[in-house]
């Protein structure tokens, strides 16, 4: 059956309502909250600081360590607390998607820790986490070549759609989830995952949507950082 109207009434190319803020955690060097629809991500940055245990240190560069976790009340069924294969995978790909914009050679023997917590989840949490982490790193004053911006696109039923909700991911006719992260200035992908089926032409269409979504998020992220720098002055 054709998917003619989105469950939440949005247009197929429409992103959910977003908001962002930085400097929300006083003990962290940098921090941010990024919300997209009902999905909320909070990120805190600590470091660069000495890396322990010692054998993990790299004498020529710093280590970026990302830790992603969903709290147990973030989803309707209680999520089992603690690490899982899913959270380890998301922590790993988050680090890989952010590392290209950092010059870690400036910080030998140290670690930059990025803690990402999801207090509320309705799909797209890894992408929201990447946006929050990127904002928190900028808030921490870590030099970055660009921000990293992320959005999930894909297919719900027979339609290519922007920014899927959990309800759409669970679509009875099948859904495809494509989390994408990119550096908006040069349009390079730093993350591209695909869960589901999609044709080559539909994938091309979805990636055009991802670029559009990332541009919208980039505008919000830039404004959030500009406003916070003005406040600090
Ligand atoms: P992402 O959140 O990046 O889209 P997934 O595709 O793995 O990553 O998860 C999709 C959504 O499924 C999550 O955003 C969340 O709403 C829900 N979800 C993930 N893990 C659980 C869980 N353990 N219990 C209930 N819902 C979950």
Query: Does a structural domain hold residue 13?
Result: no
* pLDDT tens string 170-179: 987 789 999 9
Give a yes or no: residue 1 inside a domain. no
User: Phi and psi at residue 159, in whole multiples of 5°?
Assistant: -110, 140
pLDDT at 173: 78
Closest of 132, 171, 109 to residue 31, by C-alpha: 132
Those residues of the chain that have pLDDT short of 50 are none
Distance from C-alpha of 25 to C-alpha of 31, rounded to nearest angstrom? 6
Predicted confidence at residue 1, as pLDDT, reads 67
Cβ 6 under 6 angstroms from ligand 1: no
CA of 153 to the centre of ligand 1 (A): 15
CA-closest residue to ligand 1 atom 5: 123
| pLDDT at residue number 216 | 98
Which residue in 51, 185, 194, 43 sits closest to 115, CA to CA? 43
- Ligand 1, closest atom to CA 169? 10
Could you list the residue range(s) of the whole structural domain that residue 76 is in?
18-232
Q: Is residue 4 part of a domain?
A: no
Work out how many domains the chain is built from and give that number.
1
- Number of the ligand 1 atom closest to the C-alpha atom of 122: 16
Note the pLDDT of residue 232: 81
| CATH number of the domain to which 113 belongs | 3.30.230.70
pLDDT tens per residue, range 180-218: 999 999 999 999 999 999 999 999 999 999 999 999 999
- Ligand 1 midpoint to CA 85 (Å): 12
């Amino acid at each position: 059956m054709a998917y003619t109207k989105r469950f939440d009434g949005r247009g197929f190319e429409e992103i959910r309502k977003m908001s962002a803020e930085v400097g929300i955690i006083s003990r962290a060097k940098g921090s941010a909250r990024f919300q997209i629809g009902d999905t909320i991500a909070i990120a805190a940055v600590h470091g660069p600081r000495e890396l322990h245990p010692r054998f993990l240190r790299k004498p020529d560069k710093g280590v970026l360590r990302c830790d992603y976790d969903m709290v147990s009340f973030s989803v309707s069924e209680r999520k089992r607390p603690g690490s899982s294969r899913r959270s380890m995978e998301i922590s790993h790909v988050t680090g890989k998607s952010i590392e290209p914009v950092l010059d870690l050679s400036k910080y030998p023997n140290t670690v930059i820790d990025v803690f990402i917590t999801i207090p509320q989840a309705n799909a797209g949490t890894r992408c929201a986490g990447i946006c929050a982490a990127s904002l928190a790193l900028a808030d921490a004053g870590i030099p970055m070549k660009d921000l990293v911006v992320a959005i999930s696109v894909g297919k719900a039923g027979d339609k290519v759609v922007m920014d899927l909700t959990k309800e759409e991911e669970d679509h009875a006719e099948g859904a495809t989830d494509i989390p994408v992260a990119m550096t908006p200035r040069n349009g390079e992908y730093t993350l591209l995952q695909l869960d589901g089926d999609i044709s080559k032409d539909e994938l091309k269409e979805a990636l055009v949507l991802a670029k559009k979504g990332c541009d919208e998020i980039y505008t919000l992220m830039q404004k959030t950082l500009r406003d916070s720098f003005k406040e600090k002055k």
